[in-house]
Each structure stands twice: as structure tokens, then as C-alpha cells.
């Protein structure tokens, strides 16, 4: 794993074999025809964390389109969804195509509860990609399993996904990228720790725990990030303590947490751009993450109206029906 979050990756050579490594997150996002020279088949074998804006998924869709354009068969070696494939745990919002970007090209919930193989089959049909596609299922997995049930060592999927807790909280806490609150990058538990130099962790922990979110509680903490926001600065905030993975709703929980901080610290909390290789200005980052336009306005609503709007956005009753024909497990 190389490269800072959002920064372009250059083409490289494999150290052991000398084979070329073509970056699909640099000058281009899709393979070119020249990249397919002397290739008989494409194999896609990449992990996922179960969130719409974890961009390996969208790289897969660009590879699918290229495979169609250049008439190459594509085989996807499927992997389990580490935060469960239970579709009852899926959370919206469903992406509005007016906010489409590399963080979400097509309508999909934030927490989709599918494998990449299933989503490949889904998009191959619904987006009329029509790739010559074969998905090789993984064995020994059922939809109710979490990564902690696999009885296998945890392997980071990217530099900021260092543990299971990071994976599970990521679909919600990642929304803090669009704020001046640290989402825990540069710590041992990215997305499991949040804070800022101006925050009182004890106050936030008490207020958060009063929300009584299932499966998670907050404890106050202080930390100094080694990277990311407030690098080498002492931050105060909360650590999210996981008690029951199957009960956690990371998107709803994090929307409530952001609303809480927005209300408690009106003179300190700020929305901020998040520049990346695919969005150099970093503008409208929250819209792109949530998949809804004018998303910052949500947090200016009165609390009762905010709660109703969050329920409306995160409940996706038709997703199971939409994806059902493409499920493998």
C-alpha cells in the first residue's frame, strides 16, 4: 500500500518480477488499449470495505467498461464484504446522479451490503456495460458474517483501514473528511477516533452517549495525529467503542455525531474542501460522499426535522428488490 489518501499514484514496476504496474489512480482512471496488449484475459482481485465511496469499486467499473471496449474477457475473483452482506443493514442515502463522481458514479447506497462480484453483475446489466464477465464466488462465507467471524488475520485494505473497527465505522465517520474535525487519520484507529484541538472530549462523549446508538458508545480521549488533519497537534475528542457490530448503523450514527458537534461548537466547526487527484479543488466533498446535493443544509435543520430527514435518507426499502437478481450468496 503506497501513497497518501487522494494523491495520484504513478506507474511502477513490481520489485520481485519487474512486471509493469499500471496506475488507475493517476493520469487515468481506466486502462487504455495499449495496456491490454498481449493480454488474453483480465483478472480483478481486489478487496473492499462495503462502502460506496471506497473507490476500488469504481475502478472495477472502469475496468469493466475497458474490457468491453477492447473485447477482453474479465474474471472477478470475489471476496466477502467485511462489514456483512446482510441487506437489512444497508444504509442510504442512495446516490443522486447529480452528485456523481469517482466517489460514486451510479445510484448505490452508502453501505451497500454486497460483494464487488455482485455489484459487477448488477452494473454490468443496469448500466449496459455488457462486459464478457465471470465472477468466481468466494467459499465459506454467508451474508451475516463480519470480518471478525472469518477466523483469519486482519489485512489492511489501504493505509487508513488499519483494523476492523476502521472498516465498520468508515461508511459514516468518513463524512468528517468534509469538515475541520479529525476523522482519526494518523492514529491507530482511523475512523474510530474523532476530535480537534478545540473540542472537549468529555462533553462530546456524554452528549453522544445520550443519543443511545445501538452497538457503540463513546469514551473521551486525547491524541496527536501523525498524519492528516492537525498533524502533530494535540486533539481532544472521542473514541468509538464497538460492542455489537451487527447493531451498528455507521451512517446514521455519524450523521447524528456531526449534527451534535455542529450544534455544540458553532464558532469552531467548519465545512472544508478535501482536495484529491480526481477533485483537485476539493469542493462539494460532502455532497459527493453522501450522494445528495446541498447536503450541508441538512445540518442547519432543527433537530426534530433533522431526525426525520436522516431516517428518510438512510432507509432504502427498495434496495433488496433492486439487487436481488444479482446476489451470489
pLDDT at 1 over 80: no
- Please tell me the distance from the alpha carbon of residue 235 to that of residue 162, in angstroms, as a whole number: 20
Burial of 20 (0-12, 13-18, 19+ CB in 10 A): exposed
pLDDT at 309 over 90: yes
Per-residue cell: 144: 451475516
Q: In the 8-state DSSP scheme, what is residue 96?
A: P
Q: Read off the CATH number of the domain in which 71 is found.
A: 3.40.50.12170
Find all residues with CB under 8 Å of 206, minimum gap 6, and list them: none
Q: Hey, how many other C-beta atoms are within 10 angstroms of the C-beta on 109?
A: 26
pLDDT at 48 over 70: yes
pLDDT at 272 over 80: yes
pLDDT at 328 over 70: yes
Q: Compute the 3-state secondary structure of the chain and give helix, strand, coil in percent, each to the nearest 5.
A: 35, 15, 50
234 shares a domain with 138: no
Q: What is the pLDDT of residues 98-156, one digit of tens each?
A: 999 999 999 999 999 999 999 999 999 999 999 999 999 999 999 999 999 999 999 99
96 shares a domain with 54: yes
Q: What is the pLDDT of residues 221-240, one digit of tens each?
A: 999 999 999 999 999 999 99
81 shares a domain with 213: no
Residue 212 forms part of a structural domain: yes
pLDDT of residue 257: 99
Which band of pLDDT confidence, cut at 50, 70 and 90, is reported for residue 6?
Answer: confident
285 shares a domain with 207: yes
pLDDT at 3 over 90: no
Q: What is the pLDDT of residues 168-189, one digit of tens each?
A: 999 999 999 999 999 999 999 9
263 shares a domain with 321: no
Q: Hey, how many other C-beta atoms are within 10 angstroms of the C-beta on 282?
A: 15
Q: Annotate 286-318 with b (16+ C-beta within 10 A) or e (fewer).
A: bbbbbbbeebeebbeeeeeebeeebeebbebee
Residue 123 forms part of a structural domain: yes
Domain total of the chain: 2
140 shares a domain with 233: no
Q: Read off the CATH number of the domain in which 266 is found.
A: 3.90.1150.140
Q: What is the pLDDT of residues 54-66, one digit of tens each?
A: 999 999 999 999 9
172 shares a domain with 288: yes
Instruction: List the beta bridge partners of residue 119.
Output: none
189 shares a domain with 76: no
pLDDT at 69 over 70: yes
68 shares a domain with 132: yes
179 shares a domain with 146: no
Range of the domain at 289: 164-314
212 shares a domain with 124: no
Residue 7 forms part of a structural domain: no
- Confidence (pTM): 0.96
Mean pLDDT, the chain, rounded, equals 97
Amino acid at each position: 500500500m503506497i501513497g497518501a489518501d487522494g494523491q495520484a499514484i504513478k506507474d511502477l514496476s513490481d520489485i520481485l518480477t519487474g512486471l509493469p504496474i499500471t496506475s488507475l489512480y493517476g493520469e487515468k482512471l481506466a486502462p487504455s488499449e495499449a495496456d491490454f496488449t498481449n493480454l488474453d484475459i483480465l483478472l480483478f482481485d481486489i478487496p473492499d470495505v462495503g462502502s460506496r465511496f471506497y473507490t476500488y469499486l469504481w475502478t472495477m467499473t472502469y475496468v469493466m467498461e475497458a474490457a468491453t471496449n477492447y473485447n477482453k474477457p474479465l474474471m472477478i475473483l470475489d471476496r466477502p464484504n467485511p462489514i456483512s452482506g446482510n441487506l437489512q443493514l444497508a444504509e442510504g442515502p442512495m446516490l443522486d446522479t447529480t452528485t456523481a463522481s469517482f466517489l460514486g458514479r451510479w445510484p448505490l447506497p452508502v453501505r451497500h451490503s454486497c460483494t464487488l462480484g455482485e455489484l459487477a453483475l448488477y452494473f454490468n446489466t443496469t448500466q449496459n456495460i455488457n462486459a464478457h464477465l465471470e465472477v468466481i464466488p468466494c467459499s465459506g462465507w454467508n451474508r451475516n458474517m463480519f470480518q471478525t467471524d472469518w477466523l483469519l488475520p486482519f489485512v489492511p485494505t489501504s493505509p487508513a483501514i488499519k483494523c476492523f473497527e476502521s472498516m465498520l465505522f468508515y461508511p459514516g465517520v468518513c463524512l468528517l473528511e468534509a469538515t475541520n474535525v479529525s476523522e482519526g487519520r494518523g492514529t491507530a484507529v482511523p475512523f474510530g477516533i474523532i476530535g480537534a484541538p478545540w473540542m472537549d472530549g468529555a462533553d462530546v462523549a456524554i452528549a453522544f452517549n445520550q443519543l443511545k446508538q445501538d452497538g457503540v458508545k463513546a469514551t473521551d480521549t486525547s491524541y496527536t495525529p501523525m498524519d492528516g488533519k492537525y498533524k502533530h497537534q494535540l486533539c481532544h475528542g472521542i473514541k468509538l467503542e464497538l460492542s455489537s457490530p451487527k447493531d451498528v448503523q455507521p451512517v446514521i450514527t455519524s450523521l447524528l455525531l456531526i449534527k451534535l458537534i455542529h450544534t455544540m461548537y458553532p464558532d469552531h466547526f467548519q465545512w472544508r474542501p478535501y482536495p484529491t487527484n480526481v477533485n483537485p479543488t476539493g469542493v462539494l466533498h460532502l455532497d459527493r460522499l453522501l450522494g445528495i446535493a446541498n447536503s450541508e443544509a441538512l445540518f442547519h435543520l432543527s433537530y426534530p426535522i433533522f431526525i426525520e430527514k436522516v431516517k428518510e435518507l438512510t432507509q432504502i426499502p427498495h434496495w433488496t428488490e433492486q439487487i436481488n437478481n444479482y446476489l451470489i450468496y
